[in-house]
Amino acid sequence: MNKRILIGAGLIISVVVLVLIYQSTKGSSSEDVEVLTEAQFGDFIIDVTTTGELEAKSSVRITGPNGLQQAQIWQIKIDDIVEEGTLVKKGDYIAKLEQTQLMDKIQQEQNDLSQSDSKYTEMKLDTALELRKARDELINLEYEITTKKIIVEQSKFEPPATQTAAQIEFEKAERAHKQAFDGYKLRKEKAVAQMQQAWAERQEDQTRVDFLMRLAQEFTVTAPEDGMVIYARTWNGTKKGVGSTVQAWDPVVATLPDLNKMISKTYVNEVDIRVVKVGQTVQVGLDAFPTKKLTGKVITVANVGEQKPNSDAKVFQVDILINESDTTLRPAMTTSNTIIAEVVPGVVFVPLESLHSQGDTLTYVIKKDGLTFSKQEVKVGKTNADKAVILEGVKQGEIVYLSNPTGYESKRLIKLPEKGTSVASSN
């Protein structure tokens, strides 16, 4: 009988305890739930996480005509271009550029050439006629000299006055011939100079036409090497495709990247850039292949920041060389980059959420002490995005609160001992 009473009493007590636990749990708010964590010990990693885009470390430029500035054509449009990612062989078709401006210039230069050619031909005929006339005049003057000479010889038997007159006529004929001969030489030299100038003008026009005709052939762009076609980008980052403009001073249409050496081009904000240095190790992930893990190293860090589009934030370009050569890597793939800025070996660290401030100078954590807790001042070392090194105040394995337990405000703060003094407490 007593045994049954004891068993019954035990059941009643158990039910009462369960009801009390249930009511206590039901009446509790979410704020009363304790969220705890353990202080860890190990290597503390300070890293910077960014998003980047793959591009080839080096590539062959596929350019349009190189003589656009000489032709005074400042920009042209792309009429047609092969699909991005197309594998091509050397000499394969890449793109065709719009030729309207060039055809207009060729037509104008051909008209100029036709005029200069006509001018040269006309000058050649006029010169030939003029010099022939001058030569005929010289021949006639030579005949005149011969005639006057005969008269002089026949005047030997005439009176002195007649002989003198004949001699004067003979000398006049010689002088006229000499003047005509000197004039002929001058006219011939002038004609030669004019012909040379006309020929030079014609050749200049012909050279311009030949240059433009050769330039027209370059408006059909071909591959300079084997590779994969990647569209070039404009100053604002947009890709050049059909309808895009190619500038005379930068006639790049597309590129053939070397896929064996890739870099991830990323941008780091002005707060984190101070810890990023050339040579640091990087863990690289690919959005397209989440299970693939790559490694890299920082090879360049920009000295000057730039404005991020649609933002007031300043960023600095950082280039990361990918160590691995992988056939799956393609330009423009998105990467997640974790730059290992520093590794602090053998330290205690806790989550940033467990740190609290009192005033401007004191930092503390709330430590679990059995069934109660305490507020312990800590000395904080280096931090990363989510954790902080604790130099003093917390040991490995100690439990700290991530949430604020009820009544923590009234707890006294246990301060770190000053050198040569014992532990002190303050409100």
- Three-state DSSP at 300 gives strand
CA 134, CA 128: separation in Å to the nearest integer?
10
CA 279, CA 47: separation in Å to the nearest integer?
14
Exposed, middle or buried by CB within 10 Å (0-12, 13-18, 19+), for 180?
middle
Q: Which fold has domain 59-97+219-254?
A: OB fold (Dihydrolipoamide Acetyltransferase, E2P) (2.40.50)
Which region, left, alpha or beta, applies to residue 395 given φ > 0 means left and ψ of -120 to 50 means alpha? beta
CA 217, CA 249: separation in Å to the nearest integer?
19
Give every CB contact of residue 172 below 8 A, 6+ residues apart in sequence.
148
Q: Which DSSP state fits 69? A: T
Contact call for residues 114 and 202 (beta carbons, < 8 A) = no
Which tokens go with 66?
């190189």
Give the tens place of pLDDT for each residue, 233-267.
Answer: 887 778 899 999 998 888 999 999 988 899 999 99
Which tokens go with 181?
């001969």
How far, in Å, are 73, 294, 347, 383, 391 from residue 41 at the CA level? 67, 27, 5, 14, 11
Q: Which DSSP state fits 37? A: E
Look up residue 359 and give its amino acid.
G
Q: Where are the domains of the chain?
A: 32-40+347-426, 47-54+258-345, 59-97+219-254, 103-217
CATH architecture, domain defined by 32-40+347-426: Beta Barrel (2.40)
Same-fold call for 32-40+347-426 versus 59-97+219-254: no
CATH code that applies to domain 103-217: 1.10.287.620
Residues of the chain under the 70 pLDDT cut? 1-32, 419-427
Q: Which DSSP state fits 274? A: G
The whole model's pTM is what?
0.58
Backbone angles phi, psi at 131, to 5 degrees: -70, -35
CATH superfamily for domain 47-54+258-345: Efflux pump adaptor protein, beta barrel domain (2.40.30.170)
Give the tens place of pLDDT for each residue, 298-334.
Answer: 999 999 998 877 777 889 999 999 999 887 888 889 9
